[in-house]
Amino acid sequence: MHGKVLGGNYHANAAVSLSLSSGLHRIRTPDRSAPSPTQMGSPRLPSSPLPKPMDNTEEGERVDAFWAVLILNNTWIAIQESYSMFYDLQTIGVDTPWPMDAFEYQLQLLPSVSSGTIKGFLDSTNIEGFSIMALHAKAAVLLEQATVYASNPDEIEVVCDKAPTTEFGRIETIIDQFKAQFPLVVSMEAKPSETDTLVMMQMMTHAATIKLHFPLVENGDLASRQKALSAAQAIAVLTHSLQHSSSIRVDPIVGVLWTAASEVFIYELNRADSAASGNNPQWSTLLHSIFSQMDRFSTNNPFM
């Protein structure tokens, strides 16, 4: 297992380095020295080895490639609870627009200029990006934000000793705003493989809530305890709906998501006052349902 983690982390870091050195995070970036926005394709950055894309489809493939790398990177951040190479890019600048469906690239629907994509999402000033892959990427960003924040003991101490910090409140707010879109998201028409991605996206977002609040739960914060418990319940309900053939079974992040939910239920079951926070037998049932899925999927997933 240790070798798989090291190997996976090595390849994920290599993919991040390659995407950044190729300028894939700057597609359609504003550039005064660039050709007019009416010209097809994004400007070629001086430091980028990539030539101008041949058509909109190829440029769309580059957009998708960047966000695929970001999702991969943030998956490993959650697995290892380590610092993210992308974490500071919200301020350094990811200009590449959110990924679209293939037909939208063919229809030349990419914006002529794009800037501050992740920053706009985290500041609630960017309302674009509703393809399946864009929603998956947004959930990955939220999970990364919560993981990196919660892994900083100094930040957690501040929150525990005083009122929640601005940073804590910012992350909590954007997670809650993103969750508010779930009823609309689940009504989207999607292929079976896309349905699995939508389930994964929801579980990642609920896990972000758990990652953010659980350190406070362990310090006796009742509001965080309820939020973490609600998120764990939501993950358990989504887990129960999975088919054995689901593509989620081989996704390395799913074990992390189920572990996060399980830790909340185990915490509740070990608490003398767990009945005060809800139905004690229900937590046991939901926990066993997650364990059952983990057992079923473990044959295909070494991270389970």
Instruction: Provide the pLDDT for residue 155.
Output: 63
Bigger pLDDT: 156 vs 209: 209
> 215 and 156 in contact (C-beta within 8 Å)?
yes
Q: What is the CA radius of gyration of the chain?
A: 20
Helix-then-strand count for the chain, H and E: 13, 0
Compute the residue count for the chain: 304
Higher-scoring residue by pLDDT: 46, 264: 264
Tens of pLDDT, residues 71-107: 999 988 888 877 766 666 665 689 999 999 999 999 9
Task: Compare 302 and 118 and report the one with higher pLDDT.
Answer: 118
Task: Tell me the three state secondary structure of residue 107.
Answer: coil
Residue pair 225/276 in contact by the 8 Å Cβ criterion: no
What does the alpha-carbon distance between residue 99 and residue 194 come to, in Å, rounded to a whole number? 14
Among residues 249, 147, 159, the alpha carbon closest in space to that of 205 is found at 147
pTM of the model: 0.88
E-assigned strand segments in 104-194: none
Biggest alpha carbon distance in the chain? 67
| Chain segment 8-41, per-residue pLDDT in tens | 778 888 898 899 889 999 999 986 444 444 444 4
Dist CA 38 CA 66 (whole Å):
23
